[in-house]
Amino acid sequence: MEYLDTVLNTFPVDTGSTKQLHLTETSKTTRIYRVETLKSPILRNIQGQLYLIDTPAGRKIACHPHLVSNELSGLCLDAANELKKTLKELGLISEKSGILHILRGSSGYMVDKALPDLPLFNIRTQYLEDGYRAHSDDSRRITVTYSDYKATELDTLVVPDTYATGRSVEAALQYMFAQGLSLDKVVLYGFIAAAGIERVYNLLSEYGVELVVFAICDITQLYSNNYDMPLYGLDEHLYKETGKIKPLGSVVALETLRDMLPHYVPGMDQPGDWSERHINLYNGYGEETGDIRGHLEKSIALIKSLDELNRRQPWYNDNIRKITEKEIKILQSRVYSLH
């Protein structure tokens, strides 16, 4: 595919550090890749067991911000069930494993529904001064505002969440360590940026805890706003702030990239405003529904801004135009249906 070669030559996309594992318990449509971190220019400062989990459901979620509510939950559960099969086959969970939810977004990944027998702990963290698509990288601006964690003997803690800078899980784990948490390894799962992995790796190294990562489809670089997590594309936020053009990429298997290209708007944030895409998320006190309309409208605005930028680039083509127009049209129809 000519456009695939263009992407590989234009953006810092690392496909050479991935090696497919051939598991027997996962579905035939699921692909698991081990990431060889020492080979990756994107993961220079990270060690541990890093994997990519590529499922049809995960690719749909990453490419289509119009997927929300029950439709999104069903796809998340499909992906979580493949994670469960993978963890069991690789021997990464046991009866002494537990799940940590960073409220509200963690529960959207549906891992607790795929692994209902594991104990579940809930911690909520709050960003101070930060807002949508505007996150600092300062750990002092985040605090724990709710926790039901009580010291429990664990060997593994599975933490489904969206990891951009990793500040939320860092704050939650620091809180748990202060309460006496002792364990062998932490398993991260979700949409994950390299910066978030590095932060968690550095923290766990202080406690002698092993890090295992399962990223949905790819491990991304971050926009300059420390929020958006593209498969590949231009840093739209940096361009709007400074006029500079900065290509971004990810660690992704070649097969995954090939399957996502026909559906992905270059530069689009894959998880989107994750908590706001879902219904019935536990907040520590009860269930609440995300601002689905707000997510849809913000996604339209971002895609239109990306398209304005992308159209000026030599790699822009008619297929990208069609992908962009199709996603905007579906997003607009979803907004209209909420009236």
At 174-230, the pLDDT tens digits run 999 999 999 999 999 999 999 999 999 999 999 999 999 999 999 999 999 999 999
Q: What is the pLDDT of residues 5-35, one digit of tens each?
A: 999 999 999 999 999 999 999 999 999 999 9
What is the arithmetic mean of pLDDT over 93-107?
95
Percent of the chain's residues with pLDDT above 70: 96
Nearest to 112 by CA among 289, 331, 103: 103
Predicted pLDDT of residue 153: 87
Greater confidence (144 vs 339) lies with 144
Query: What is the pLDDT averaged over residues 275-293?
Result: 93
Spatial neighbors of 293 by CB under 8 A, at least 6 apart, are: 335, 338
Taking residues 61-71, what's their average pLDDT? 97
For the segment 104-123, what is each residue's pLDDT rounded down to a tens digit? 999 999 999 999 999 999 99
What was the pLDDT predicted at 9? Answer: 97
Residue 48's pLDDT is what? 85
Give the pLDDT confidence score for residue 206 in this predicted structure: 96
Is the pLDDT confidence value at 1 over 70? Answer: no
Percent of the chain predicted with pLDDT > 90: 89
Cis link prior to 312 (omega < 30° from 0)?
Answer: no
CA atoms of 286 and 281, how far apart (whole Å) = 8
pLDDT value at residue 151:
84
Strand boundaries in 72-230, DSSP class E: 97-103, 120-127, 142-147, 156-160, 185-193, 210-220
- Residue in 230, 234, 332 with CA at minimum distance from that of residue 271: 230
List of residues 6+ apart from 211 with CB closer than 8 A = 47, 48, 49, 185, 186, 188, 197, 200, 201, 204
Q: What is the pLDDT of residues 133-184, one digit of tens each?
A: 455 555 556 889 999 998 888 999 999 999 999 999 999 999 999 999 999 9
d(CA 211, CA 309): 38
Please provide the average confidence, as pLDDT, over all residues in the chain.
94
CATH 3.40.50.2020 fits 2-292, yes or no: yes
**Average pLDDT rounded to a whole number, residues 226-243:** 97
pLDDT for the residue numbered 32: 98
pTM of the model: 0.95
Dihedral angle sign, alpha carbons of residues 264, 269, 271, 273: negative
59-77 CB burial, b ≥16 within 10 A, e <16: bbbbbbbbbbbeebbebbb
Residue 132 has pLDDT above 80, yes or no: no
| Euclidean distance between CA atoms 296 and 114, whole angstroms | 27
DSSP-assigned beta bridge partners for residue 51: 34, 214
* pLDDT in the model for residue 131: 52
Cβ neighbours around 6 below 10 Å, total: 14
pLDDT at 134: 53
pLDDT-based confidence at 47, cuts 50/70/90? confident
Could you tell me which residues are beta bridge partners of residue 18?
35
Residue 294: other Cβ atoms inside 10 A: 14
HEC per residue, 276-287: HHCCCEECCCCE
Note the pLDDT of residue 233: 98
Residue 210: the pLDDT is 96
The predicted pLDDT at position 46 comes to 84
